[in-house]
A = this chain, B = another copy of it.
């Protein structure tokens, strides 16, 4: 079964509750504020524990716990690094799954900038300087707006 996103899915009984909920599972991993803010900072290039703590503005205890969960979830990895004259330390870096969270971070950034007071950073393309925004496109290259989006039950 498939249904248009704006259709009356909610009034149909043939759709089981858990049928369309990868969102639930995503929120298990990144459903709290600290996790997302930590990810944002890693996208921005922060990898060291103390930098993350300072930039996110969270306590060390919470940062340590969240970072461990993100590593366990396969979103971050700890990579050893060594500055000259320093002992070996570990920096947090994005895994492939972590890099794939960029749309989530960008979507929140974009929405927050547009719809909350305070504005936000401009996102631009390094090559041409034009503003960047997220859009849904199909494999044929069409921009897909909300009314043309079809949700299929399973693939």
Residues of A within 8 A of B (CB): 2-11, 17, 19-29, 31-33, 36-37, 40-41, 43-48, 51-52, 54-55, 57, 74, 97, 99-128, 130-140, 142, 144, 146-155
Contacts and interface: CB of A to CB of B under 8 A. Distances in A.
25 contacts: A2-B124, A6-B45, A7-B44, A10-B41, A10-B55, A11-B51, A17-B55, A21-B112, A23-B36, A26-B108, A26-B111, A26-B115, A28-B116, A31-B33, A31-B36, A103-B110, A104-B104, A104-B107, A107-B134, A122-B151, A122-B155, A126-B149, A131-B139, A132-B136, A137-B137
B37 A134 contact: no
| Residue among A116, A117, A150 facing the most chain B CB atoms (10 A cut-off) | A116
Given A2-B124, A22-B119, 9 more contacts: A23-B112, A29-B116, A100-B111, A100-B114, A100-B115, A103-B134, A123-B136, A123-B150, A125-B144
Given A6-B45, A22-B119, A130-B139, A146 B112 contact: no
Contacts of A105: 23
B133 A136 contact: yes
A150 B126 contact: yes
Contact of A108 (B10, B23, B122, B149): B23
